[in-house]
Amino acid sequence: MESFRSELEDLNNPIVARDIIDLESKIRLFRDGKIDEEKFRSLRLARGIYGQRQPGVQMVRIKFPLGRITTKQIRRVADISDEYASSNLHATTRQDIQIHFVSLDKTPELWTKLEQDKITTREACGNTVRNVTASDTAGIDPKELFDVSPYAYEVFRYFLRNPICQEMGRKFKIAFSSSDDDTAYVFIHDLGFIPRIVDGKRGFKVVIGGGLGANPTLAQLAYEFLEEDQVIPLCEAVLRVFDRYGERNRRMKARMKFLMNDIGLEKLMALVQEERIALKNKSYKIDTNVLPEPELPPVIVAEDVVVSNEQKYQLWRETNVFEQKQKGFFGVYVKLPLGDMSTKLARQFADVIDLYASTEFRITINQGYLLRFVRPEALKLLYLALDKLGLAEPGFDSVADVTACPGTDSCNLGISDSTSIALELEKVVREEFPGLISNQDIKIKISGCPNSCGQHGLASIGLHGSTIKDKQGKVLPALVVLLGGARVKGGEGIISDKIIKIPSKRGPQALRVLLTDYEENSFDGEYYHDYFKRLGRNHFYQLLKPLGDITATTPEEYIDWGQEKNFILHTAVGECAGVMIDLVSTLLNDSEDKLKWAKEAYDQKQYADSIYHSYSAFINTAKSLLLVREIKPSTQYQTISDFQREFVDSGVFEFAGSFKDYVLSINKNEPSDSFALSYLTESAKFLDSVLAYRAAEKEVMEK
């Protein structure tokens, strides 16, 4: 413990240190039964600590904004995984790294050690702004108009610990693509940005309201061109609207896409405009030099290098290597099955990177890595070094590079296996369809449940975990097959169509049928989504229908991939976005905390932050009395309206003037000293009044 405290002091960052100390304190209170389990769950999720399927251990999600990571950082994560976790690093589709089987009590120490190399877990999970993602090629993309890396990083930095997005109804995802090719898939994000230059000015095409999950939705166009200094003000205004009007009771309807569907894009953008007066910054100039220049690898004297398998090397060059916009340098992709890398391999990988590439590399959204600034004379040497580690497999982001979430390996929501079968599918492609290894149009993606963490909803060939019951009522692990999804251009995409449900063990055969049909019936150069559209959904249903027939099953089909015993459905409450906190005392305690933070922010002249903390206290305090009457408002706006009706208009509770109008004045005023102070004062008075009202009620009841 003394060592842990000493390391905290060495961080030289009081904000981070206080955050970690607060986590340690809350863990102790939780262990002592002094914090409600659901409240504690919300707190730990916002710090990247996610309950696993296996009881008593945690997954820790480590946040790397825009997937940017250095060799020093991956060594740090490897060391921490060896000390606290399972010695495996899992790269995710949101450019994070996850480690598993961590003791809850050790998470403050773990976090402290991560911060020594400027790595955070803060807001990697929970109802927050999740990791801000970007094209892995940003900064080196030959097609880019400008580097979006600093824009993505500044958005990440601006909203980290920002009071407007700590306890939203659900998670919120933001992405930046480097070009119209949309390699960051902005069309499935709550907010997505694609670079534009108009009249010599930098800006972005902006799309809004996209998402996958069980109800995939394509983002809609918000702006054809938004000037660069308006990126952060727009994000802030949208988040304020989402926080106030977003659903909070029905978790499956709480994403931004559902709010937009309910009120329409025009109304949503009108609400966004109403927030502008209250923004902390009406304009925010992005520091395009916020990220350091890449460290270039040493110059290597050209040598005659002999490659034993020239065919494999040439295929690797074709599928995994591209020339950067910086002439004389190459980007090199590393294909990583399931996104997993042992800690031992990670250190060896880092050593290779230090020799032949920039020390900064990127985590890709299909669970691989991109090495940058490789010199042409180093390509063969790099290939040989990677091949020695088993990291030079051709076919990056091709039909042979299957994306899969962890599924039933660790996730509470996993229904059937998504990892072992992913390896089987890659084996089918590699061994039976080798000519397709260079095909980077067809994407195969698999999730363990309908929530699409493996991105099956946008795949050419998508699969998600499910179950089937036979006539005797016995349950088989199953897969739902979806086809025809695609990334198009300019922030547009195609959602895949559900075709049929089949037993999981028939997944490889389904892939054989689909790829054989593609080879036989597609036109030369035809994209998979065009081929799917041309032949029609019924063609593929009839093609796969025999595999969905379970009138005759084998004993093996009742056993899931990677298992030895018959399948048993096991799911629990998922933790992807936390839960509601409905206990009255917890809400009132939260209000006290928020008012304390509001006072601290006010004293530091951070008036916009102070106002939002005071607003959040208003909401929690009002909700506490509504819950006493078993009224459970679904949005913050409804909380304000219900309190006005139930307590103020009815004369039960005194509030000078209109409670609703006063609380909603948050977006009618500039974030000034005077308004921040008066709003804080009124919020504190409101809490005192509610506490007094509650005490009087209890006294009457006790008599």
- Tell me the per-residue pLDDT of 636-673, one tens digit each, with 9 for 90 and over: 999 999 999 999 999 988 888 899 999 999 999 999 99
CATH code that applies to domain 310-388: 3.30.70.3340
Split at pLDDT 50, 70, 90, the class of 238 is very high
d(CA 382, CA 364): 19
Q: What are the phi and psi torsion angles at 206 (to 5°)? A: -120, 130
Buried/exposed code over 286-299 (b: 16+ C-beta within 10 A; e: otherwise): beeeebeebeebee
Listed range (334-338, 498-502, 650-654) with the worst mean pLDDT: 650-654
Listed range (33-37, 107-111, 266-270, 284-288) with the worst mean pLDDT: 33-37
Return the higher-pLDDT residue of 414 and 431: 431
To which H or E segment does residue 469 belong?
strand 461-469
Statement: residue 13 has pLDDT above 90:
no
Supply the DSSP symbol for 496: P
CB contact at 8 A, 161 and 15: yes
Rounded percentage of the chain residues whose pLDDT exceeds 70: 96
Order of strands across the sheet that contains 461-469: 403-404, 444-447, 461-469, 475-483, 497-503
| Mean pLDDT value of segment 44-50 | 93
Rounded percentage of the chain residues whose pLDDT exceeds 90: 82
Q: What is the pLDDT of residues 104-141, one digit of tens each?
A: 999 999 999 999 999 999 999 999 999 999 999 999 99
Split at pLDDT 50, 70, 90, the class of 3 is low
At the top level of CATH, which class does the domain 133-278 belong to? alpha beta
User: Dihedral through CA 54, CA 60, CA 65, CA 67, nearest 10?
Assistant: -60
Query: What is the CATH T-level fold of the domain 2-115, as seen in this structure?
Result: Sulfite Reductase Hemoprotein; domain 2 (3.90.480)
In CATH, what is the architecture of 584-702?
A: Up-down Bundle (1.20)
* Cβ atoms within 10 Å, residue 508: 16
Q: What is the pLDDT of residues 448-496, one digit of tens each?
A: 999 888 999 999 999 999 999 998 999 999 999 999 999 998 889 999 9
Query: What is the CATH T-level fold of the domain 403-558, as seen in this structure?
Result: Sulfite Reductase Hemoprotein; domain 1 (3.30.413)
Residues of the chain with CATH 3.30.70.3340: 310-388
Residues of the chain with CATH 3.30.413.10: 133-278, 403-558
d(CA 168, CA 218): 22
d(CA 226, CA 214): 31
Q: In this predicted structure, what is the pLDDT of residue 570?
A: 65
DSSP string across 66-135: GGEEEHHHHHHHHHHHHHHS-SEEEE-TTS-EEEEEE-GGGHHHHHHHHHTTT-B-TTSSSSSB-PPEE-
The alpha-helical segments, DSSP class H, found in 554-666 are 584-603, 607-628, 636-643, 659-663
Q: What is the pLDDT of residues 569-628, one digit of tens each?
A: 765 555 554 333 346 887 898 899 999 999 999 999 999 999 999 999 999 999 999 998
Query: Mean pLDDT for the chain?
Result: 93
Listed range (54-58, 440-444, 637-641) with the worst mean pLDDT: 54-58
CB contact at 8 A, 242 and 169: yes
Statement: residue 297 has pLDDT above 90:
yes
Q: In this predicted structure, what is the pLDDT of residue 328?
A: 95
Return the higher-pLDDT residue of 74 and 302: 74
Listed range (208-212, 349-353, 465-469, 650-654) with the worst mean pLDDT: 650-654
Q: Which of 409, 369, 407 is nearest to 391 (CA)?
A: 369
**C-alpha angle 346-395-433 in degrees, rounded to nearest 5:** 130
| Mean pLDDT value of segment 219-240 | 98
